[in-house]
Chain A
């Protein structure tokens, strides 16, 4: 049983047990445009809720990706480093960014669910 939550900075996190898989939303990739470079945190890095975790660069600009939660990075998705265009093609599926072991599961409680995020993103247009 997994749950998916969203941040106001357009990250998503899918949680199974104490492991969260993090990526950017379809809305975010659409706003960024063609992704040409992704920088991911090293495995073992401690990340904090709202802190810098990754960088995604489009033709036009660089954007920070923040960690939705506090914890330790336990796996990264090398496939999007090798082929950044995957972030545009399947942002909420194959093109996840990193997996994090949650230190403070209660951080999820304040985040938006899928319906809440859809309404939030709609308001960003």
Chain B
């Protein structure tokens, strides 16, 4: 795909002005890093506040009578139990319980505010329309901007522009004016740090982004550091760690399915999930720590100590805050216990590795 064929977010000109290296991601030209580099951006996000452009992700507004009940026919999460102003992580599943996408749903009072992955957003919209069309009002807001402000200084910074944001707890969200602009702000993110995601009308996005970047704690952060931050936090990336062939139970996302939904079912793949909850899945997502300094990346085969294949790494790299290589992947259930010795076969060479608990860097979500 040539660069001219790529879509641009409302912050494209700002990225270029900031000296970003732009790459293709999900059909968009996106900043992978700024001149300071991924290592510095990653560490800055854990120490200060990082500003990410995630406008390529999809925003969908669902409304109408019984909208939560209707959405529950597509996801295993407890949406009916989501109080106004509360947000939840959930999954679109298929009949085999495979994960079509992961998404964030916020009860915005008179509607559900849904954020889905960039690479899946058109398929998600078609899926939702096919199943819920005529039952609920579906409004894609794919032209709106989305900024993520992440890190221990994020709250102090945002409060200067949006004093109302101070009362938001973790996994809460509502309409809040940011520097006078009506935005939808949630206290959530994808780094393991405290922070916010801010949905903004496209024509105000660059002004708000510049306003945030003018604060001394804030630096622009690209998709490269976003990936290393979420990997250290043990968070799944759709298309890599989860996809339409992997179930929530295999992925270790059992916590996504609340007690009522386990009992009632009523979503695609519920029978598969119930079976795997009862008997255990055949494979499981685990954290993997390679010994030494060499990263073991996506696609690296995993074997037991004797060299028999037991799984594959689905995300792997160097963890700048961890200070060494970190990875996650799928292994046979018999090899999933923490501490199990494995080998990661990097470019044909078996290297010692071990199953390890995640996250690799402790979460620091805001829990008052």
Same complex = yes
Determine the chain A residues whose CB is within 8 A of the CB of B347 once the complex forms: 55, 62
Enumerate chain A residues within 8 angstroms of B295, measured Cβ to Cβ. 36-37, 57, 62
Question: Could you tell me the distance in whole angstroms from the C-beta of B280 to the nearest C-beta in chain A?
Answer: 34
Can you spell out 16 A-B residue pairs with CB atoms less than 8 angstroms apart?
A33-B37, A33-B224, A34-B37, A34-B38, A34-B40, A37-B325, A39-B294, A55-B347, A57-B295, A58-B38, A58-B318, A59-B38, A59-B42, A59-B317, A60-B224, A62-B347
Q: When A and B form their complex, what is the total count of cross-chain residue pairs whose Cβ atoms lie within 8 Å?
A: 43
> Which partner residue on chain B sits nearest A81 by CB separation?
B293
From A33, A55, A57, B38 is in contact (CB under 8 Å) with: A33
Chain B residues with CB under 8 Å of A39's CB are 294
A60 touches which of B38, B293, B325 (Cβ 8 Å): B38
Determine if B86 is an interface residue (Cβ-Cβ < 8 Å): no
CB–CB B318/A59 < 8 A: yes
Contact status A33-B33, CB under 8 Å: yes
Which residues on A are within 8 Å of B, measured CB to CB?
Answer: 33-34, 36-37, 39, 55, 57-62, 84
Chain A contacts for B318, CB-based, 8 A? 36-37, 57-59
Whole-angstrom distance from the CB of A83 to the nearest CB of chain B? Answer: 11
Flag if A59 contacts B294 (CB, 8 Å): no
B191 at the A interface (CB under 8 A): no
Within the assembled complex, what's the spacing in Å between the Cα atoms of A62 and B347? 10
A45 to B294, CA, bound (A): 21
Known pairs A33-B38, A34-B39, A36-B293. 15 more at Cβ < 8 A? A33-B37, A34-B38, A36-B295, A36-B318, A37-B293, A37-B318, A58-B38, A58-B318, A59-B228, A59-B317, A59-B320, A60-B224, A60-B227, A61-B297, A62-B347
Cα distance, A14 to B198, chains bound together (Å): 52
A33-B38, A36-B318 given; A59·B224 CB < 8 A: yes
Give complex CA distance A16, B54 in Å: 51
Distance (Å) between the CB of B296 and the closest chain A CB? 10
Query: A38 CB to closest chain B CB, in angstroms?
Result: 9
A4 to B38, CA, bound (A): 31
In B308-325, the 8 Å CB interface with A consists of 317-318, 320, 325
Residue of B nearest to A57 (CB): B295
Q: Which of B40, B42, B224 neighbours the largest number of chain A CB atoms within 10 Å of its CB?
A: B224
Taking the nearest CB of chain A, how far is it from the CB of B35, in angstroms? 10
Contact A60 B317 (CB under 8 A): yes
Q: Which residues of B contact A36 (CB under 8 A)?
A: 39, 293, 295, 318
Select from chain A the residue with minimum beta-carbon distance to B346: A62
* B33-47 contact mask (Cβ, 8 Å, vs A): 1 or 0: 100011110100000
Minimum CB–CB distance for A23 against chain B, Å: 20
Q: How far is the CA of A58 from the CA of B32 in the complex (A)?
A: 13
Closest B residue to A82 using CB positions: B293
Do the beta carbons of B297 and A59 come within 8 Å of each other?
no
How far is A49 from B26 in the complex, measured between Cα atoms in Å?
37
Which residues of B lie under 8 Å from residue A59 when comparing CB positions?
A: 38-39, 42, 224, 228, 317-318, 320
Interface string of B340-355 (1 = CB under 8 A from A): 0000000100000000
In the assembled complex, the CB of A41 is this many whole angstroms from the nearest CB of chain B, namely: 13
Q: Which residues of A contact B32 (CB under 8 A)?
A: 60
Chain B residues with CB under 8 Å of A84's CB are: 293
- In the complex, chain B residues whose CB is within 8 Å of the CB of A61: 297
The complex places the Cα of A106 from the Cα of B238 at a distance, in Å, of 51
A37 to B317, CA, bound (A): 11
Interface hits, B247-297 → A, CB 8 Å: 293-295, 297
**Top 7 nearest A-B pairs by Cβ distance?**
A34-B39, A36-B318, A59-B38, A59-B318, A34-B37, A37-B294, A37-B293
Taking a contact as CB atoms under 8 Å apart, the answer to whether B37 and A57 are in contact is no
Alpha-carbon gap, A33 to B347, bound state (A) = 21
State the CA gap A34–B41 with chains docked (Å): 11
- In the complex the two chains form, is B294's CB within 8 Å of A57's CB? yes
Which residue in chain B gives the minimum CB-CB distance to A39? B294
A-contact 0/1 string along B16-51, CB 8 Å cutoff: 000000000000000011000111101000000000
Report chain A residues within 8 Å CB of B38: 33-34, 58-60
A62–B295 Cα distance when bound, in Å, is: 8
> Chain B: which residue is nearest A88 at the CB level?
B37
In the complex, which residues of chain A have a beta carbon less than 8 angstroms from the beta carbon of B227? 60
Q: Complex: how many Å from CA A62 to CA B293? A: 13
A37 to B347, CA, bound (A): 14
How many whole Å from A30's CB to the nearest CB in chain B? 10
Bound-state CA distance A57–B300 (Å) is 15
Alpha-carbon gap, A59 to B325, bound state (A): 9
